[in-house]
Structure 1
């Protein structure tokens, strides 16, 4: 049985990733900050026939990451999916409105914690058959695609994540690990808003298709929802 670890599994894309991979027979390690309050995730786990296990993980907590890594020592993880992320307050991301602490908070969650997750769980991924690390990025992190300006906090965090992804792809190639950055499309979630072009089900179906088709030769790419390259 293949195993996937998903951060931010209690809602939105993370929850739907959990649902679909469990339905496909995968062992899903579903991680979230407050398992006791993750009612949809708990219900899904109860219905999964044992395919879903829920784990306490605030990705910003060094102690919780280290604790989970110790619990999962020697557990092969075919896909490490860094799905947890934040947008920051969209109302304070325009020029003249950016504030230091909020920006640092967004960078911490969207850039630093995926890197630390990769460091903490690389050995687990290396033990697996598929050996994939997926980082949830965004087309908004593309410099080429930026034709509107604004969104300084979110754009900069995803651009930085793309660079982290690229460096990790080089560094982990010797272990046979594919490191990929994924754009989920504009999705109707709390972050994407009600006007998004895709449902979470449509987005996750496409994300899974992309992950099923990648090889080590794809490592370091930023993939659009249709599997094409997004320019840096």
Structure 2
């Protein structure tokens, strides 16, 4: 049985990822900031819920202790945030900008780096995180979403570097694009979460080293840089 670790799994895309992988027979390690309030997550088959605040180094260290070297086949660094997507440049604050960089770019890198020994111990050796069409510079022809775009573009650069450094060790580093999905983050506008996750799960299950460094959408198409 393959093992997937999904961060930010208490709701939305993360919860649906956990549900679909668990129902398909995977062993799921699902993280939540407050496991006590994640009863629906804990009720999934083949699922263990562990606490994790991705922006807290001590919390990541506690996760490593709880895992105790357990092999992980697939990491999905899903946890992320968006703040004031319609803010004008004058309305973008330093605090919001840095918070999104910390949560959406640095935290996935920190989590992947910490879990590298676990990933190396797994059979599939896949490390993924959630990018976005908003990350693309060449496709940005309508502006807006300054802080969110910047954080996801930074994530792209970080993951490309991981792909280059870790491929010789057999680790596939690929970014996923869920599309505009009807979750709390989007005001429940967009694709049904089940559709997006079904597509991303299919992408993950087909990944190999030749895909390292790509940004692949739920529909199997690449996101342009």
Do they fold alike, i.e. is TM over 0.5? yes
Q: Distance in 1 between matches of 2:203 and 2:113?
A: 24
Aligned length: 225
- Aligned residue in 2 for 1:139: 133
Out of 162, 182, 185, the residue aligned to residue 188 of structure 1 is: 182
Q: Distance in 1 between matches of 2:37 and 2:207?
A: 35
> 1:1-232, aligned counterparts within 5 Å?
1-42=1-42, 44-45=43-44, 48=45, 51-91=46-86, 93-196=87-190, 198-232=191-225
Q: Distance in 2 between matches of 1:54 and 1:195?
A: 28
Q: Do the aligned residues in 1 keep the contact of 2:85 with 2:144 (CA within 8 Å)?
A: no
Q: Distance in 2 between matches of 1:13 and 1:230?
A: 19
Q: Do the aligned residues in 1 keep the contact of 2:183 with 2:189 (CA within 8 Å)?
A: no
Q: Do the aligned residues in 2 keep the contact of 1:133 with 1:179 (CA within 8 Å)?
A: yes
Shift of 1:144: 1.0
Q: Distance in 2 between matches of 1:35 and 1:72?
A: 16
CA RMSD of aligned residues (A): 1.0
Q: Do the aligned residues in 2 keep the contact of 1:118 with 1:133 (CA within 8 Å)?
A: yes
Shift of 1:211: 0.8
Q: Distance in 2 between matches of 1:195 and 1:6?
A: 23
Shift of 1:192: 2.1
Q: Do the aligned residues in 2 keep the contact of 1:80 with 1:125 (CA within 8 Å)?
A: yes
Shift of 1:67: 1.2
Match of 1:90, SS state, is coil
Match of 1:96, SS state, is helix
Q: Distance in 2 between matches of 1:7 and 1:88?
A: 19
Q: TM-score, normalised by structure 1?
A: 0.94
Q: Distance in 2 between matches of 1:102 and 1:189?
A: 21
Q: TM-score, normalised by structure 2?
A: 0.97
Q: Do the aligned residues in 2 keep the contact of 1:7 with 1:84 (CA within 8 Å)?
A: yes
Runs of 5+ in structure 2 lacking a partner?
none
Runs of 5+ in structure 1 lacking a partner?
none
